[in-house]
Structures are given as structure tokens and as C-alpha cells.
């Protein structure tokens, strides 16, 4: 989804309606010349919307974000870089932005205030999914799965079973289950934990009730 440069092309909710998502940063380009100045372009793939002001449909699970580029202290760009640097340090990686490439991360829209007479600026800031720093659960290693999430998974599996994408798609329909899945660390962590707990069984990518 490209940026919109014609004021009449914006729809209800718009790009700024997207406030939180899981996605993988695939591309980063600075010095992009746009109608409203030089910008930074961020390209995300495998996007799962966690929170938005209004329902937003993304083409092919892709999202492109533009941020006004600046060199001055206290600009949106400087505040974003400071936040990204802090996150990278917390995760023990670097340097930015390349250290975030190819990693499924949670991205949350941060708002930066500049005083009463100035419009706040915004930028997306990454954070690690809760399961990123831990090994994938094995048969004797689990993470705690909320009962409501477990119940929903069992409903999706039913008598015939389902693959991980089918389970994820069903959980994505409601904000409550989307957020629980995100906090847990994603669909792979969820299903591996349920298999380890012998709540569900897995055979060649098909999950069934154990």
C-alpha cells in the first residue's frame, strides 16, 4: 500500500487508523522526495493488524509507511531514532535500522507532542514479540496459554482439524484474541505450546484436538 498524496483520496480511518500491528520490516529507504518534503519510507510484509481506529484492508499483507525526515533535534525523525535505538539496545542487537530487517516484530504508533500550538507527530516503534528471545517450545517446554485462547483454538479445530494459518485467521477476527496472540508471541508459539501440553496434536502441519 503506497502513500496517498492527493487529499481527496483518503478514506475513513485512513493510514493513520493503523495503530498497532505485527509485521516484518523488509525495506527501508531514506531521502525519498515527496510532495510534503523529504521522507523515510518503511516497507512491511506479513502484516497482521492488531489495532486500528477503523477496519483497514491491506493488500497482500503489506504496508508502506512514510515518516517526515529531518536533521534537527526534537524532530519526529530524531525521536523515532531515539526510540528505535533504545529498543535495539534492550534486545541486544544493532545497529539500526538494519538490525530490525527480516524480524517479525510488534510495531506500535508512538505520538510525539511538540507543545499546545503544534500538531503532534507520529512514528511506528518496534518491540520484540514476547516469544522472540526464548527458544521455540519443545515437548517438555511450554508457555502459559490463556484459557480463552485455548478454547477458541479448540473451536476452530473442531472435528476435522486446521492448519496454523486457519487458526491465526480465525483469531484475527476479534481484537481480544488478536492481542492475546500477539502477547503470547505469535501463532507458532501458541500452537507449539498447545502441542507440548498435549491439548492438540500435530501431523504434517495439520492440528487436531488431542
Q: Write out pLDDT tens, residues 65-100.
A: 888 777 788 888 889 899 999 998 888 888 888 888
Number of H helices, E strands in the chain: 5, 7
Domain of 33 in residue numbering reads as 12-127
Count of the separate structural domains present in the chain: 2
- Taken as a whole, the chain contains a residue count of 210
Bridge partner residues of 112 (DSSP)? 121
Closest by CA position to 14, among listed 54, 51, 64, 48: 54
**48 neighbors 172 (Cβ within 8 angstroms):** yes
Co-location of 21 and 123 in the same domain? yes
Co-location of 157 and 75 in the same domain? no
Q: Write out pLDDT tens, residues 123-180.
A: 899 988 754 443 344 434 457 899 999 999 999 999 989 888 788 778 877 778 877 8
Co-location of 118 and 175 in the same domain? no
Co-location of 108 and 188 in the same domain? no
**164 neighbors 205 (Cβ within 8 angstroms):** yes
Neighbouring C-beta atoms of residue 22, cutoff 10 Å? 21
What pLDDT score does 87 carry?
92
Bridge partner residues of 17 (DSSP)? none
3 state SS of 161: coil
Co-location of 91 and 156 in the same domain? no
State mean pLDDT over 167-195: 79
Beta pairing class for 37-52 and 63-68: antiparallel
**77 neighbors 40 (Cβ within 8 angstroms):** yes
Co-location of 51 and 122 in the same domain? yes
**Within the chain, what is the greatest distance between any pair of CA atoms?**
60
Amino acid at each position: 500500500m503506497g502513500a496517498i498524496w492527493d487529499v481527496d483520496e483518503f478514506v475513513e480511518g485512513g493510514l493513520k487508523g493503523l495503530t498497532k500491528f505485527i509485521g516484518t520490516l523488509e525495506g527501508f529507504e531514506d531521502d525519498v522526495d515527496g510532495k510534503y518534503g523529504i521522507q523515510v519510507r518503511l516497507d512491511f510484509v506479513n502484516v497482521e493488524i492488531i489495532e486500528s481506529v477503523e477496519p483497514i484492508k491491506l493488500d497482500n499483507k503489506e504496508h508502506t509507511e512514510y515518516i517526515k525526515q529531518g536533521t534537527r533535534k526534537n524532530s519526529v525523525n530524531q525521536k523515532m531514532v531515539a526510540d528505535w535505538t533504545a529498543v535495539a539496545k534492550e534486545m541486544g542487537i544493532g545497529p539500526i535500522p538494519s538490525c530490525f530487517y527480516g524480524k517479525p516484530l510488534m510495531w506500535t504508533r508512538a505520538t510525539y507532542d511538540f507543545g499546545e500550538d503544534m500538531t503532534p507527530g507520529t512514528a511506528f516503534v518496534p518491540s520484540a514479540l514476547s516469544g522472540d528471545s526464548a527458544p521455540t517450545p519443545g515437548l517438555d517446554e511450554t508457555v502459559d496459554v490463556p484459557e480463552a485462547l485455548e478454547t477458541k483454538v479448540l473451536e476452530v479445530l473442531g472435528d476435522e482439524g486446521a492448519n496454523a494459518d486457519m487458526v491465526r485467521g480465525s483469531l484475527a477476527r476479534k481484537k481480544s484474541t488478536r492481542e492475546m496472540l500477539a502477547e503470547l508471541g505469535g501463532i507458532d508459539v501458541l500452537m507449539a505450546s498447545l502441542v507440548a501440553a498435549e491439548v492438540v496434536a500435530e501431523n504434517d502441519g495439520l492440528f487436531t484436538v488431542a
